[in-house]
Copies of this chain bind each other. A is one copy, B any other.
């Protein structure tokens, strides 16, 4: 305050008017004209310095005020409030048993009656969410409080910002900056959290079986009842049938990242022991990444950064010299789902950094101390190569989580091998309609048009002649778009398709022609990728739907009507691809569909901004920003913790 006040001296009008230059050539201007005296360079510099000083001083004051504010706030976070005699429903303390397996059923929870707000939720529909990843977060963040009795079941007590796992694996950001406790997220909804693993489901009783682990290590299974169930359990890594994958690291959880970080530092410490031979040092410092997708590429880039910026400064320099980083990719290029320009840019960057790119290669096996891969030799024949290594990351392909597998086993029409098949409304196919949804990596939206053949024909064949003329075809196209939005792009040229499949040229499609058409179309539709973006959008879609359902329900219940089907509430799920991005070490690439953008530091900051924006809480946002600043100033932490 004081400082700024000084910056604005009270200018007395008189003194301004009659300011007399005391000497020098300017004295001449006296009484002849009043013009502002020209400032010398020195004076200007002083002025600049003054104002800079003001800004700096004000900043200090501002920061001081901020700090004081924090301290004052801090003082109020310490309370001496006492609680006793929390109201608990006795039924919550003695669970009734039941269900197919006669297990305890958690119909009432210990905190269901602890305050008035909670009591109001007891009679609301029970929404159970299995999993705590992107899909679950999408739902939780979109739901309005007060509409559902929410329970989240997850083995991990926190949600993870997975896209930054490669950064965390080398210590660019801290593990705790990527996670947010689920309990804090559900607090807004006054939801419940059960630490456990869903293992089975009884759909007609609407019970999920959850395996919990008591402190002694014994398992205790129980049932959690639901009215609406959302399966968001994610996926596990696919082995592709490669032997020895248990010697590999994966990078799907914070736990994985922690193991990787530990191993990297272990390797460097072992490499710098006096007794380590040159050969062994080279093996210890050889890092192999199997898979040239974003995770693999980003991990390779982060390891490179770490060696370049931190190892170089604090370990014997020979350790930096002996580092080798290898990326084994089965396709011709890394980042092959991105635009070609991006692949090329990333490959050029890696080449400059000395990262060894091995494309068109197949990993044949992994042993504790090497990776074996085969690729075409100069004569075109397959050759086998071995890379001695003490670090192999497996980051390619996904497989089904055991609970997802169990769900598909229970439903006869679930035939997809890698995920639970859902319809365009994300309802699990074959389950009681509107009871169970699946989102994210564990779900795949059906792309088969043929399976809807009868419905399509029934609606479109208005003259019931068993043939589809062009007008009827247009009706059918509308229906196709509505049923499976992902088919949209493929039916946009309705006339061309019609003519192509109208082989006998009678201006109508016979049923056999139609089957072929639908089959071909279905095959053209690519399923959505297993990305955070898809899971998050699906979760939000479900959240919105549940909000709408809740609003309608109050009306319907008043009139004693059953729930409306999803179709009447909200359209099918539509995915909007916002673009893909990847960090490639001191540079980043963006694939925004039609446009690509790539570059050095500026792109890297853009990449950071995007991720920063997507954080689940202000807390992790602050932590991430701090991590990046800390890294900038002091480098990464080298502690093997």
User: Measuring CB to CB, which residues of chain A are less than 8 angstroms from any residue of chain B?
Assistant: 1, 3-5, 7-8, 11, 13, 16-17, 51-52, 54-56, 58-63, 65-66, 70-71, 73-75, 77-86, 88, 92-93, 95, 104, 106, 109-111, 114-115, 156-158, 174-176, 179-181, 183-184, 187, 193-196, 212-216, 220, 222, 224, 254, 265-267, 269-270, 272-278, 280, 284, 305, 308-309, 312-318, 320-321, 352-354, 368, 390, 586, 601, 605, 617-619, 622-623, 626, 628-635, 637-641
Contact = CB atoms under 8 A, between A and B. Distances in A.
Residue of A109, A183, A265, A352 with most chain B CB atoms under a 10 A cut-off:
A183
A272 B70 contact: no
Nearest to A10: B11
Contacts of A309: 77-79
A619 B639 CA distance: 13
Given A5-B51, A54-B58, A157 B639 contact: yes
Contacts of A639: 157-158, 176, 179-181
A65 B55 contact: yes
Nearest to A263: B215
A59 B63 contact: yes
Nearest to A255: B641
B114 A317 contact: yes
A274 B321 contact: no
A87 B196 CA distance: 55
A127 to B, nearest CB: 16
6 contacts: A7-B8, A11-B13, A93-B278, A157-B269, A158-B639, A176-B641
Nearest to A111: B316
A638 B314 contact: no
Contacts of A157: 265, 269, 638-640
Contacts of A630: 619, 622-623
A50 to B, nearest CB: 9
A538 to B, nearest CB: 24
A174 B619 CA distance: 14
Contact of A214 (B70, B83, B270): B270
Contact of A194 (B214, B273, B390): B273
Contact of A158 (B77, B224, B315, B641): B641
Contacts of A193: 272
A166 B544 CA distance: 44
A353 B80 CA distance: 8
Contacts of A280: 214
Nearest to A79: B308
A70 B110 contact: no
Q: Determine how many copies of this chain the complex contains.
A: 2
Contact of A71 (B180, B312, B318, B605): B605
A214 B74 CA distance: 47
Given A80-B586, A158-B638, 19 more contacts: A1-B51, A7-B54, A54-B58, A55-B61, A59-B63, A73-B632, A79-B309, A83-B321, A86-B318, A95-B274, A109-B274, A156-B640, A158-B640, A176-B641, A179-B641, A181-B639, A183-B315, A184-B314, A195-B272
A271 to B, nearest CB: 9
Given A13-B13, A55-B61, A641-B179, A277 B93 contact: yes
Contacts of A51: 1, 4-5
Nearest to A280: B214
A84 B321 contact: yes
Given A80-B352, A83-B320, A314 B58 contact: no
A55 to B, nearest CB: 5
A187 B265 CA distance: 17
Contacts of A317: 83, 86, 111, 114-115
Nearest to A309: B77
B55 A1 contact: yes
Contacts of A75: 601
Given A55-B65, A65-B55, A215 B270 contact: yes
A4 B1 contact: no
Contacts of A633: 70, 73, 619
Contacts of A277: 93
A269 B339 CA distance: 46
A630 B77 CA distance: 12
Given A1-B52, A215-B284, A605-B71, A274 B176 contact: no
Contacts of A66: 59
Contact of A59 (B59, B213, B266): B59
A90 to B, nearest CB: 10
Contacts of A92: 274
Contacts of A156: 640
A305 B73 CA distance: 16
Contacts of A617: 634
A183 B312 CA distance: 12
Contact of A114 (B71, B78, B184, B318): B318
B318 A181 contact: no
Contacts of A265: 157
Nearest to A71: B605
